Structure 1
Amino acid sequence: MLAVALNAIAGGGAIALSKSRIPNPKSQTPKKASRRTANREPRTANHRDLIAPVAIALALSGFAGLGMEILWFRHFSIMLGAFRAVFSLLLTVILVGIGAGSLAAGVMQRRTNAAISWLAVQSLFIVATLAGMWGANSSPIDQTVSNAISAHASRPSALGELWFNLRPMLPEVALPALLIGFSFPLANAVVQRVEESVGRRAGVLYLANTAGAVCGSLVSGFILLPLFGLQASTTILMTVAAIGLIPVYLAVRLKADTTDTVVSGFSRTARTLPLAAAAAAIAAWLFLPSDYVGVRALPKPEPNERVLNQSEGVNEIVTITETAGKGRRLMTNGHAMSATWPLSQRYMRALAHVPLLMIDNPNRVLVIGFGAGNTTAAATLHPSVTRVEVADLSRNVLDHASYFSGSNANVISDSRVSIFVNDGRHHLLMNAPSSYDLITLEPPPIGYAGVASLYSEEFYALAKSRLKPKGFVSQWLPSYQVPVETTLSMIKSFIDVFPRSVLLSGAEADLILIGASDRIELDPNQLFANMSQRPGVRADLARLNLGTPREIAGMFLGSPSKLAEATRDAVPVTDDRPVQEYGVRSLLNLGEFVPGSVVDLSGVSAWCPKCFDNGMPVRVVEGLDLYLDLLSRAYGATPAEGARTRQLSDGGRTVAGSAYLGAVVPETADVHNDLGIAYASRGQIDAAIAEFRQALALDPNSAQTHWHLGAALAERGALKEAEEHLRTSVQLDPSNLEAAHDLESVQSVSSPRRR
């Protein structure tokens, strides 16, 4: 509505100006001249001959200018991320530059020769554009982000993020955009001589420039980038701009041949110098390595990571890398999208496995977003599934599926799998209601422009209508990519459509929302039976430390009531208000690991009521209470503890026999205390003592640990050492009456022995 109002104001102003009668001193008819001849162009001038070369030059400059805009958007989506804030700021820089250039050209054409100035400006555009692309480097950007992550920096200010995005744009885009703005006013000044022909000639030039710009944007986006890549496309566009100098040069020659005293007299050097400068810039550019721009724009590979393949498509640059000891990664425009790393596979495969195991005989699945094929491959492991549809916008991503055949088992060639190069939302519209047992999706980074259409209330309503009565929707929710309030908004839009929802942790902060039209409760006995009947599924889950009902139930984070409570005041994501796309302004905008307001592990019985009997875990999920206690430590860990845990997990650390717990549970005294208490309650005293000793090594002044260790040692009969630890515990915490009682008991037993 605001745009409509502004356009209405502009239109009203134009109408008012058209009706006004403002005399133009320069166009007043001399008293002795007839009106028929007053505004007629002089026959001796050849200005009509200028229209064709000037129009051609404008078309070519428009082609090159708008084509470069497409390339700049690709370039900065690689270096700064495909955020709306980045696109908006880049467009602002371009438009301000063009506007300022047009204003400056109006001043220039009154003080200098328009033709020769235009020639110089067009040449300088080529030089400035190539220099900007040559100087662009993502290393300072990546280093700034890395420092912010290492320092666990708080959310930056809006001005700080604005400058973070603007700083690399200015040297690359500002001057070329300014020079683009010079073209039309100077070209117009070259051909306009009398009032009678102003409108017609301006229209011809505007048509030529617009047509060239439209063709440049289409050709750059759909032909040049996919076929030649960013650097070669820049070369082609600047060559086109250089060709555009030829008709400008001809216009200069034609102007110099007239009797116009203002224009004549320009030396041959003044005409040829701009051509030489442009040719020299292009020649120097051609000497650069063919991957120069891409290497400097994309992030540097991590240690022990090597690039296996890289190609540019219509939508993105796809890069496949491999890291020793971890696996392979899929990156688009320099940003990680999918991987075969253990933790990545865990949540991606859980997106399909967990809901499908809650259905006795699932039949049809829709996967939105292929990635590395982990989720699609997981769905095909369920024997009753006869059709898996994959909707993905990027043919380029699909063409690289074979690089991940070690984890996706070449699923793309499975006869049950149908691939659609299509938007997931449109794909749902193409299918009838009640079509799917499961709709699962893992879109690109959730703060990117356009992604909100797969997280909005309207999308979820559409997905719900395509579910079978007992079907599920599972949605990836990486909370670390957006601010906390944005995470809550995204959960709000989901539970507004699916009140029966549960929040799970697929792996660390890669969360999973599961919603159902009918029921959301997990039955551990049904789960066990279905896993037993689907050995391929069970084996796949086992290698991801999800091979038991306890581990699957242990993914629990938040119940329906907890999610409703946490999002009560949140604004839901809608098509009209894509909150998440405006919540992230830059790569510096780091989210929270897991928002504390949505976590309530004590509410697991709301999802799995049959997991407990009289408050204790039933046999099929035995140890679930300890498993959740340990995970609660992971969700409450500080960033520093999380970083330390990841270092330890690289060495194959396990906690309570689980490699996954070893990868996420921090190495703290509290964790070892939890383990010690659990072992002691099961009668495993030696294991308990070992855990308490590790806890003391981490925190020697823990009164609780001294108490627990003293009690365990007393149970083992090591009374002397037990007394020492119990005495220390009482000294550290005199208010602990239970520890004091245990100390008195040990002393009473050991005293007769001393006598």
Structure 2
Amino acid sequence: MGWFFAFFFLSGFCSILYELVWLRLTMAQFGVTTALTSIVLSMFMTGLGLGSWGAGVLTRRYGQRVGFPSLRLYALAEFLIGCSSLAVPAELAWGHRLLQSMTAQNAYSSGSYYLASGLLVAIILLPWCTCMGATFPLAMAAIRSRQRLESKRSFSFLYLANVIGAVAGAIAPLFLIELYGFSGTMRVGTVCNVIIAVSAFALTLGGRASARSSAPVLTPGERRAVTAQPKVLLVLLFMTGLVTMGMEVIWIRLFTPYAGPVVYSFAFILISYLAATFVGSFVYRRFNTGGEVDPYLSWVLLAFLGLLSLLTSDPRFPLNTPLRVLLGVGPFAGWIGYLTPMLVDRWAAGDPDRAGRAYAVNVLGCILGPLLSGFVLLPLVGERAAMLLFVVPWMGMAFLPSRRQEALPGTRMGTRIAAYASVVAALALFFTTKNFETLFPDREVLRDSTATVIATGNGMHKRLLTNGIGITQLTPITKMMAHLTLASLPQPPRNALVICFGMGTTYKSVMSWGIPATVVELIPSVPRLFTFYHPDGATLLASPLSHLVIDDGRRYMERMPEKYDAIIIDPPPPVRAAGSSLLYSKEFYAVAKERLQPGGILAQWLPFGDEAVQSSVARALEQSFTYVRVFRPVEENGWHFLASMQPITERSADDLVRRMPAEAVSDMMAWGPAATPTEQFDRMMRTDLTTQKLINRSPDTPPLQDDRPVNEYDMLRHWTHYVHSGMRNWKPDQYGAGSNPPPAGESAQKGNE
């Protein structure tokens, strides 16, 4: 059994590692959209369910035959999973090229592109994920062939090992990706899968795990008892998957305002969930040796535990971020970790076929939970009501009629009173707690499948927050992104593309030039708040020169053939935000170059970032474009990059002003900070730098690429900096996790810190 524990520890490690990397590789090839992310995760879970069900059927039909090679089939499945690290990146690149060739002939609508990319992702990922799902029934069949007493609870044994491996798989990539990139990290997974496959196959050669007998593990009486298990067990398994994975989507919304939108924050939520699941599974394995269904109170208690996250995410409680997450996620996940393997053990009693079906039912719930949460509940009712709706089934179990209680033993009067008390406590949590948005009394809140968006403030102090993170505020920096770029073109601009809408300031400034303007925004609710910041927002959006697109900016450029004189990119802060590297990478710039007219200029805004990030972005731009210029903004926060394949003429501030329409000049000066238009440009012209100066700040840092997201994964270099310089001198990126953008006008020194 020690061998199987080691196998499933490594298998769990690899499965989470692959899931994280495959998701990022798919984003790079097909776009960062909620729909595509859901497709990837759904295909991953669908493959697990199909593999579990299919392998279970295989063991039922042939598992009792002498010589059935269950362990060798398991070894083959692990070997094929290891092959995925080589196959999936190549297949995704092939799919991307196929879509490019299709869109080169015709412009695809967003819906058609979703359909085509979703179909390709399904074709690519499903076979490999099916191999992952097959490992549980095949390993259980191998254990059963050894006729050990442990085989009756083999699922929970493998589940325990798999979950603790998954914890390691959620932690290790945080360091491996920083060191070796996504491709190098995938190779680590390949080595682990090959080790499993070779070791499992070697055991069959030694005869230690071969199927030498066709004798059944269960006696006829035991088999009758197992097959007589109530169907409610499958219903409960479905509900545990549905509720747990649905809540995971909501947990990210609840805790992002405190933890930040960085990969480490999301990883900590995942690690907390998996670690608590392991603890619950361990308690079940250690103390519940009978494998009986937990008393009825245990299920009703899930309602209270499920709403604990509303308490720990309440801004009125001064908890540090790790404690907020652990207390909000841990108790519920731990209890689910106790109940899920217990249900499968009781339903299957070691039978691989029944375990495969039970696990598939659980996985089906895991597929539907995030879809229900992200596309229905969160947009319609918000985080708090969505959490309540997810725990309503557990509350309802407190009021089951007597004839339904036979399947849920332990329903004596005292237990029922305790169950009612649990329901009351859960409702008290819901009605007495508050969420993050209540910190802003003067606010407008919109929700969609992508984010919760808050518009707040008055006058020049208005702010935009998505999922509780400050994205931008009214500042002349965003105006100058447009005016500097358009005034620097070799000829009067004919059109422009803005990627990332924000408050709409950059887009509004482009429109002041009287040219056709296309703006691409990922979050549907953000442009709906345009008039909150700019009273003429509705008029601008209705203009025949305006074209608003809800999509991933990089994906939009790939599927539309139009070319632009200027492409202006304003990625949302913080610089370390998860997925933001896809708007700074060499691969992104390669796509953008294809959409620039001859002489066109790409404008890239980099808000802060440590020296490694500044160097990495500058190097990526230098290696992508022939000519690059760098400027400090008018309020000295961050960097403006102008990049082109043709020389960018060096013009004086007066020349730049003369090239602007009167309406554009008026727009540029609306918020200052300079007194005259010439002085406004002078503030930037006198800071003209070369990319080499930024590259020299960290000369060993590679250019930012899809495979090496330097800006997102920085823990090791920050720790190294801490060790070399000491805590007193070490200061993290000002745009670190959970922080909001500093007020405009703060010193450049503070920005560099």
User: 1: CA distance between counterparts of 2:531 and 2:657?
Assistant: 33
User: 2: CA distance between counterparts of 1:76 and 1:38?
Assistant: 47
Structure-1 residue corresponding to 2:311: 134
Find 1:167's aligned residue among 308, 311, 323.
Answer: 323
Q: 1:515 to 1:409 in 2, by over 3 A?
A: farther
User: 2: CA distance between counterparts of 1:548 and 1:307?
Assistant: 34
User: 2: CA distance between counterparts of 1:251 and 1:206?
Assistant: 24
CA shift, 1:430, in A, is 1.8
Matched, 1:591 2:733: yes
Rg larger in 1 or in 2? 1
Q: CA contact under 8 A between 1:115 and 1:251: conserved in structure 2? A: no
Structure-1 residue corresponding to 2:471: 337
Where do 5+ consecutive residues of structure 2 fail to align? Answer: 1-186, 719-729, 736-744
Structure-1 residue corresponding to 2:617: 490
Matched, 1:204 2:357: yes
Find 1:515's aligned residue among 626, 643, 652.
Answer: 643
Q: CA contact under 8 A between 1:133 and 1:293: conserved in structure 2? A: yes
Q: CA contact under 8 A between 1:122 and 1:179: conserved in structure 2? A: no
Per the alignment, in what secondary structure is the counterpart of residue 221 of structure 2?
coil
Q: How do residues 136-285 of structure 1 correspond to structure 2 at under 5 angstroms?
A: 136-138=313-315, 165-192=321-348, 198-243=351-396, 253-254=406-407, 268-269=412-413, 272=416, 275-285=419-429
CA shift, 1:463, in A, is 1.1
Structure-1 residue corresponding to 2:220: 40
Q: 1:569 to 1:248 in 2, by over 3 A?
A: farther
Amino acid of the residue matched to residue 454 of structure 2? T
> Deviation digits for residues 513-562 of structure 1, max 9, x if unmatched?
1112212233235424313xx11111122333364334313213242253
User: 2: CA distance between counterparts of 1:269 and 1:471?
Assistant: 77
Find 2:568's aligned residue among 423, 440, 444.
Answer: 440
Q: CA contact under 8 A between 2:306 and 2:332: conserved in structure 1? A: yes
Find 1:9's aligned residue among 186, 195, 199.
Answer: 195
Q: CA contact under 8 A between 1:318 and 1:396: conserved in structure 2? A: yes
Structure-2 residue corresponding to 1:308: 443
CA shift, 1:18, in A, is 6.9
CA shift, 1:42, in A, is 5.5
Q: CA contact under 8 A between 1:372 and 1:408: conserved in structure 2? A: no
Q: How do residues 423-572 of structure 1 correspond to structure 2 at under 5 angstroms?
A: 423-432=552-561, 435-445=563-573, 446-479=575-608, 482-506=609-633, 507-524=635-652, 526-531=655-660, 534-545=661-672, 547-556=676-685, 557-560=687-690, 561-566=692-697, 568-572=699-703
CA shift, 1:274, in A, is 5.8
User: 1: CA distance between counterparts of 2:324 and 2:663?
Assistant: 50
Structure-2 residue corresponding to 1:122: 299
User: 1: CA distance between counterparts of 2:271 and 2:217?
Assistant: 46
Which has the higher relative contact order, 1 or 2, with Cα contacts under 8 A spaced 6 or more apart? 2
Matched, 1:351 2:481: yes
Find 2:274's aligned residue among 86, 95, 106.
Answer: 95
Q: CA contact under 8 A between 1:101 and 1:180: conserved in structure 2? A: yes
User: 2: CA distance between counterparts of 1:177 and 1:37?
Assistant: 32
CA shift, 1:382, in A, is 1.2
CA shift, 1:417, in A, is 1.0
Per the alignment, in what secondary structure is the counterpart of residue 580 of structure 1?
coil
Structure-2 residue corresponding to 1:110: 289
Per the alignment, in what secondary structure is the counterpart of residue 426 of structure 1?
helix
CA shift, 1:494, in A, is 2.0
Amino acid of the residue matched to residue 328 of structure 1? K
Q: How do residues 311-326 of structure 1 correspond to structure 2 at under 5 angstroms?
A: 311-323=446-458, 325-326=459-460
Q: CA contact under 8 A between 1:121 and 1:182: conserved in structure 2? A: no
Q: 1:499 to 1:168 in 2, by over 3 A?
A: farther
Q: How do residues 722-733 of structure 1 correspond to structure 2 at under 5 angstroms?
A: none
Amino acid of the residue matched to residue 280 of structure 1? V
Q: 1:413 to 1:138 in 2, by over 3 A?
A: same
Q: CA contact under 8 A between 2:379 and 2:449: conserved in structure 1? A: yes
Q: CA contact under 8 A between 1:66 and 1:217: conserved in structure 2? A: yes
User: 1: CA distance between counterparts of 2:461 and 2:538?
Assistant: 15
User: 2: CA distance between counterparts of 1:339 and 1:308?
Assistant: 14
Structure-2 residue corresponding to 1:581: 712
Q: 1:192 to 1:244 in 2, by over 3 A?
A: farther
Per the alignment, in what secondary structure is the counterpart of residue 704 of structure 2?
coil
User: 2: CA distance between counterparts of 1:46 and 1:245?
Assistant: 27
Per the alignment, in what secondary structure is the counterpart of residue 406 of structure 1?
coil
Per the alignment, in what secondary structure is the counterpart of residue 326 of structure 1?
helix
User: 2: CA distance between counterparts of 1:165 and 1:347?
Assistant: 32
User: 2: CA distance between counterparts of 1:140 and 1:130?
Assistant: 15
User: 1: CA distance between counterparts of 2:217 and 2:449?
Assistant: 56
Q: CA contact under 8 A between 1:67 and 1:216: conserved in structure 2? A: yes
User: 2: CA distance between counterparts of 1:96 and 1:40?
Assistant: 38
> Deviation digits for residues 83-102 of structure 1, max 9, x if unmatched?
10011121111112112211
User: 2: CA distance between counterparts of 1:328 and 1:254?
Assistant: 56
CA shift, 1:311, in A, is 2.3
CA shift, 1:74, in A, is 1.6
Q: CA contact under 8 A between 1:310 and 1:318: conserved in structure 2? A: yes
CA shift, 1:168, in A, is 2.1
- In percent, how many aligned pairs have the same letter? 22
Count residues in correspondence. Answer: 537
Q: 1:178 to 1:199 in 2, by over 3 A?
A: same
> Deviation digits for residues 681-740 of structure 1, max 9, x if unmatched?
xxxxxxxxxxxxxxxxxxxxxxxxxxxxxxxxxxxxxxxxxxxxxxxxxxxxxxxxxxxx
> Deviation digits for residues 149-185 of structure 1, max 9, x if unmatched?
xxxxxxxxxxxxxxx6423221111221111111222
User: 2: CA distance between counterparts of 1:443 and 1:125?
Assistant: 40
Amino acid of the residue matched to residue 473 of structure 1? L
Q: 1:349 to 1:17 in 2, by over 3 A?
A: same
Q: CA contact under 8 A between 1:330 and 1:337: conserved in structure 2? A: yes
Matched, 1:371 2:502: yes
Q: CA contact under 8 A between 1:127 and 1:277: conserved in structure 2? A: no
User: 2: CA distance between counterparts of 1:247 and 1:61?
Assistant: 18
Q: 1:133 to 1:267 in 2, by over 3 A?
A: closer
Q: CA contact under 8 A between 1:225 and 1:313: conserved in structure 2? A: yes
Q: 1:48 to 1:273 in 2, by over 3 A?
A: farther
Q: CA contact under 8 A between 2:565 and 2:600: conserved in structure 1? A: yes
